[in-house]
Amino acid sequence: MSADSKGSAGDAGQPEGSAKIGVVVLGAEAEDGKAMLICGVTDDLSDRFHAGEIIKELSAKVGGTGGGRPDMAQGGGPNVGKLAETLENVDELLRSSDETG
Condensed to tens digits (0 to 9), the pLDDT of residues 60-98 reads 999 999 999 999 999 999 999 999 999 999 999 999 988
pLDDT at 18: 60
Q: Considering only CA atoms, which of 44, 48, 26, 46 is closest in space to residue 35?
A: 26
Q: Considering only CA atoms, which of 75, 93, 77 is closest in space to residue 39?
A: 75
Q: Which residues contact 38 (CB under 8 A, 6 or more apart)?
A: 8, 9, 12, 25, 26, 27, 55, 72, 73, 74
Q: What is the mean pLDDT of residues 14-38?
A: 85
Percent of the chain past pLDDT 70, that is, above it, reads 80
pLDDT at 21: 86
Distance CA 92, CA 43 (A): 21
Helical axes 90-100 vs 51-61, angle rounded to 10°: 130
Q: Which domains does the chain have, with CATH numbers?
A: 20-100 (3.10.310.40)
